[in-house]
Chain A
């Protein structure tokens, strides 16, 4: 029983990995022209609105840009060509995500770098604190205590997290 559950866990992870790969590989094959237009428009900022994308805004500006995207898609241009064109007319500001170049790199790289550094730091700290931890005998007792607490239903840990 336990064993096949383990296999399922592995299977699940594999399924997830496959799905994730599929998602990154296929990058949403949009079908209709409208869908493709909207997919591009979603990443563009409506310059006359407050915090709305070209896809969401009903403004004349956004309507015009959507029309332009549609026209260029029909002419066979790719999404990145269209975005490059619009950047050449309106600057990087029209992109709702900063470009992955120059200063924009900072925005894209800083959060993953923080997570990575945090994980490394935490692993080091945890290993370090583990050294300082109490003897294994006490550990088992602690786990036992936890169960005792659950059983008597008090739940409040004796080490002082109970409500006043």
Chain B
């Protein structure tokens, strides 16, 4: 009967491995950008003005990638508005429009509001530099230019206040 215990040698690791699998989301992507320097960019705003990341140095920044066709962006928009109104003085808010038509983006902003800088990323170069793979994604960058947190999917008020505290500290 002792031989039968060899079965456990094979079975236990395999089953443990599969059980551990329940705790992971196969579609999640951990971003290597977090805790590293924020990528630089030089883009134009929706109104055509040039803006470079250099101009934003020394102040915490929130970069929000979004698109007018994205339902989750609509969903998170009120919280983003509220955060901008509350913390807009301490933190620079930057929106980057992702895979979108400028006209659609403008009418989205007209409909749902927003007053922070909105940039256009025509060839997705900046989005790829940030490691964006879907919208919305929000990056919290501290005053030293280090990405402290990345929110994938709609960002909630709680997460926003927590992370703003971290980057302004």
Contact = CB atoms under 8 A, between A and B. Distances in A.
Interface of A: 47-48, 60-61, 64-65, 67-68, 71, 86-91, 93
B130 interface: yes
A47 B128 CA distance: 12
Contacts, number: 43
Contacts of A68: 123-125, 128
A64 B29 contact: no
Interface stretch (B11-19, B30-38, B102-110, B112-120): B30-38
A64 B32 contact: no
B130 A64 contact: no
Contact of B134 (A48, A71, A86, A89): A48
Using C-beta atoms within 8 Å of the partner chain, give the interface range for chain B. Answer: 10 to 19
Interface in B58-99: 99
Given A64-B123, A91-B31, 9 more contacts: A48-B133, A67-B123, A67-B124, A71-B125, A88-B32, A89-B33, A89-B128, A91-B29, A91-B32
B129 A89 contact: yes
Interface in B123-141: 123-125, 127-131, 133-134
A89 B130 contact: yes
B133 A47 contact: yes
Q: Which of B32, B123, B128 has the most CB of A within 10 A?
A: B128
Contacts of B31: 90-91
